[in-house]
Every structure is written in C-alpha cells, then in structure tokens.
Amino acid sequence: MSAVNREPVLDGWGFAGESFPPPAALWAWLQERLEGPCEPLPRWRPHRFRPPAGRRLPKLPGEVSTEALDRLRHARGRGLTDLVRLRTGTVPALPDAVLRPADVAELSSILAICSQAQVGVVPWGGGTSVTGGVNITAGPQKMISLDLARFRGLLELDDASGLATFGAGTPGPEVERPLAARGLTLGHYPQSWELSTVGGWVATRASGQESLGYGGIESLVAGVDLVAPRGGWSLAPQPASAAGPDLRQLVLGSEGRLGVIHRATLRVSARPQAAEVRAALLPSWSAGIEAVRTLVRARSGLHLLRLSDELETGVGLRVGLAGRRLAAALLRRWLLVRGAGAPGCLLLYGAAGRPRRVRGALAAAASVLRDHRALRLGAGPGRRWLADRFRHPYLRDALLDRGVAVDTLETAAPWSRLEDLTAAVRTALTATAAAWSERCPVLAHVSHPYPDGGSLYFTFFFRCPLDPEQAVERWAELKRAATRALLAAGGTLSHHHGVGAWHAPWLEDEIGRSGRTVLERAAAALDPDGILSPAALLDPTDRLEE
C-alpha cells in the first residue's frame, strides 16, 4: 500500500501505484477457455496528449479549466470501452472546459449562462459511470464537464434522527470517515466506493454490496437539494410523506437530467461492533437460488448474500484453493460423499451489528442452509473477499495488459424468472462470440436479494482485438445481444448501474411511451433548453460504439 499514490489514474481504474494482477489460476483458466493467444492492448502515453483547444465559451464564473489532461480525465467514465479508448488514445470528444463551482451561487450562475448560450453541461461526481453517463459526445454543441468536487464533506448531522447531510461531491471514504468518528455508518459500499460520490449514487440509483442490511441508496436518501437552469429545488428530509408522489424517488436515477444535486441528506445507522461473512457451498444454482430466497423471506437479519453460479464458483475455488492441497482434498472428499461431480455454488452470507445479533443471524442462516444440503466453509473465503473487494476492479486493466477484455452487466427479476434469465443472457453472449469464432466465458452471481426477487450480475471475458475500433464494436455487439436477451427474459434494464447514455435506447421498452413522456416533461420543466446531460437517460441514440 505504501507505493500507492492517491492520485486517480488517467487511462485506467483507480489510483496510481495500485494494481490487481490476475492470480495464476485465473489466468490459466482464461487461457483454457479463450480461443487462441491473447495480445496485450498497448497503453499510450496520455501525458503527451495535445488535444485541439476547447471551443470558445461564454464568460463563466469560478474555476474554469481548459487544461488538456483535465479535459481528458473528464471525457469518459470507467466502462470497458472507456478504458479501451483512454488507454489507446482514441477518445472521440473532450469537454471544452471543466468547471468546479465553489458554491450554490456559482453553480446557479453557470447553469443560467449555459442555458442561455445552449452549452451542454454534464455533471461529474467520481466519473465511475459504466453506462456512458459522463461521456462527452462529439457534435456541434459546446460541452462542459461540471465537477462537483468542491461540494464536499459532512455538512450537518442530526444525531437524534440519524440524518447526515453531505455535499454531493463527497466520495465513499470521506462519507464513512466522519461518520466512523461519531460511531455511525452509512453502510453504502458499491464496488466503486473509493471513487464514486454521494451525488453520483443518487443520480444513478446505486446499490452497495451490503444493500440487504442497509438498503440501496433509494432507501438511504431522506432529502435532496438540486439546482436546475430554472432554479433551486429542495426536497426536505422526511421519514415518510403522503404529500403526493415521492419526488425524491424521481430525482433518484435522474442521471443529471433534472438538475445538479449539490447535497443529500442520508439515513445513517450505528456503526456495527462486529461483522462477519461466512461461506457455504450449495449443491446447484437452483438449490442456491432457493436457499437465498428462503433466507431473505425469513428476514434472517443478514446484511449480505451473494450466490455464485457453478462457473463463478469453479473459478473462485480454483483461485482460492491454488497451493492449498489439504483444503482441496477435503473438498474432493465431500463431493465424493455427496455423489456430486462438481462443487456446486458458493454462497457468501454476512451479518453486522452487535456481536450477539451477528452470532444469532449467522446461526439462524446456518440452520436454513443445513436444510438446503449446504456444506459450510467457514469465514476464510468471506475474509478474502472482503479484503480484496475494492481491488477487484483493477483486474480489468491488468487483463487488458494481457489482451483479455472483461466487462460486467447486471439486471434484476422476480425469483421465478432468475434461472431462465441467467441462461438467456449467457446464451446471447456466447452465441454472439461464436459468430466471430471466438469464445466468451460468462460468470454469474445473485446479489442484492429482496423478498420477491434479486439482482443478477454477469462477468464476461473475450479476447480483445488490438484495433480499438474493433474492440469497441465487439463489445457493443455483446452488449446489444445481452440487453435484448435480458429484457426478453423479463429482467430490468438495470438494477444499479443506471441508464446513462448506453442503456437509453431501451428505456422505453421498460417504462413505456407514457413513462418516457412523464420524464421528458419533468426534464423540460426544470431545464427548458435541454442542456443538462443531453445524452443521458432520454436520448435514444445508440452510442455504444462511440
């Protein structure tokens, strides 16, 4: 950790000096499954970057940066093709400037001027969007990236009510630090936690890995304050309200189209005194889904449930058991006794809170799991997963260095549809790759479970063509096929990554023409010139290849 420089890298994920090279067992597994050799995707040198100057903008207040690398940093989010474009120097468009307003007065004035001059404004939190949400699109409209970095930190704490108000640009660690000092937590841990921000979480309807216990951001937000070109909009925190439809829920997932969020009041809880994640193996994917469903329905007090399918389990065990002969032999023996040829599906289940409550929740879960013929593996796999959970994203860059592209996609559906949905998405991805005579291994897991269904998360790999345009085209084909398949199988367009620009062509399939009209009218009421995030949420243009 000492070599880690907390400066975010320009052409990849995370912070300079941090990395997560693929474990040898994972690399061997990938080489077995991908057709042919993989050639490293080279990294250019962004520091030599000389872009054309930004177009002339009207006079704007506050800090206006036209510095090349600042504009490059704010040109793209952190989806797979963003990484490909950033590392190969093929980013098609940059913002004309990056603005960092210092306060609400400056923010309001920027929006009023941009509205009058028809300059597009893309709010920027941590820039971790994986749906093209912060990407600058090429075209005649001048564009600025509006970085919320100066709206930062804990602004107010209502201890009696458990309400903490944060500036929208506050990243995950700076949310938890002041709360921890007061014995509190928000408990919102998306995998992008180290970089993503309060405003971004609200704007995308994000979900943390412990959403079973703490809730997704949609249940953590009590109040929110925005500024739109039409003026400020404040939705004060209330525990509940029947004052018409809940407009906070309209802001959640609005992806910048309804205004720039500058602060949010969040529901916080007592910091847990104890937390533990344990592991178990379930005989099959359908037995695992049934066990998770039972655990959630039983309201067993768990705060985390994550079930890997057989393939993800196989890879996980291969990596986890590499060099651990005794553990591997014990597992083989158990499988023999069970008459099973394969290990089945790995479940991580965790609880947090007072030590007695944690012990009670884990014991209750263990008893349900026994009824589902699970083999309990103890706390080791959970400990390793917790230790590495924010390091896993670095693997994407390390695999591109070896010529392998890896991406993820996610959805959610009622329990009754999850198995068919898994098969449909896997078939769509593998069939698309087969048409190029390539292979595309697909791993899946269920996380974020609810009484009526759960979120399905897929990780897929393919050999990355050396030509960045071909790499982007291939990814776009995979993404289109998977999205069509998941919608046809009854899944939602997104459980937590949001819509951004990349999912926008399919939004109407889910919410209907009327739903779209409601959103368009709301956006027009707050932003009559349509300058805010013009490519996100409501623009149906297919931008997957940009």
Ligand X SMILES: Cc1cc2nc3c(=O)[nH]c(=O)nc-3n(C[C@H](O)[C@H](O)[C@H](O)COP(=O)(O)OP(=O)(O)OC[C@H]3O[C@@H](n4cnc5c(N)ncnc54)[C@H](O)[C@@H]3O)c2cc1C
Could you say whether residue 196 binds ligand X (CB under 6 A)?
yes
Q: Return d(Cα 122, Cα 497) in angstroms, integer.
A: 17
For residue 303, give both structure tokens. 């705060």
Identified binder of ligand X from the candidate list 12, 22, 172, 200, rule CB under 6 A: 200
Q: Return d(Cα 427, Cα 442) in angstroms, integer.
A: 9
Cα angle value 507/536/109 (rounded, 5°): 140
Contact 457, 451 (CB under 8 A): no
Could you say whether residue 76 binds ligand X (CB under 6 A)?
no
Identified binder of ligand X from the candidate list 77, 95, 320, 441, rule CB under 6 A: 77
Q: Return d(Cα 152, Cα 156) in angstroms, integer.
A: 12
- Sheet with 274-282: list strands edge to edge: 375-378, 274-282, 345-353, 304-308, 442-450, 453-463, 404-414
Pairing of strands 184-185, 269-270: antiparallel
- Between 317 and 395, CB nearer to ligand X: 395
Identified binder of ligand X from the candidate list 133, 237, 272, 454, rule CB under 6 A: 133
Could you say whether residue 494 binds ligand X (CB under 6 A)?
no
DSSP helix/strand/coil, 468: helix
Q: Kindly indicate which of the ranges 47-55, 118-126, 348-356, 361-369 contains the residues binding ligand X, using the contact rule CB under 6 A.
A: 118-126
Express the helix, strand and coil content of the chain in percent, nearest 5 each: 40, 20, 40
Identified binder of ligand X from the candidate list 369, 536, 538, 544, rule CB under 6 A: 536
Q: Minimum distance between the CB of residue 310 and ligand X, rounded to whole angstroms?
A: 23
Q: Kindly indicate which of the ranges 255-263, 295-303, 353-361, 503-511 contains the residues binding ligand X, using the contact rule CB under 6 A.
A: 255-263
Could you say whether residue 314 binds ligand X (CB under 6 A)?
no
Number of residues that bind ligand X (CB under 6 A): 39
Identified binder of ligand X from the candidate list 100, 496, 503, 543, rule CB under 6 A: 496
Which is it for the CA torsion 363, 368, 371, 376, positive or negative? negative
Closest CA to 196 of 141, 124, 304: 124
Q: Which residue is nearest to ligand X (CB)?
A: 200
Could you say whether residue 204 binds ligand X (CB under 6 A)?
yes
Q: Kindly indicate which of the ranges 60-68, 123-131, 463-471, 476-484 contains the residues binding ligand X, using the contact rule CB under 6 A.
A: 123-131
- Between 184 and 536, CB nearer to ligand X: 536
Q: Return d(Cα 43, Cα 402) in angstroms, integer.
A: 11
Could you say whether residue 255 binds ligand X (CB under 6 A)?
yes
Question: What residues line the site for ligand X (CB under 6 A)?
Answer: 13, 77-78, 122-130, 133-134, 148, 168, 190-192, 196-197, 199-201, 203-204, 206-207, 255-256, 260-261, 393, 496-498, 500, 533, 536
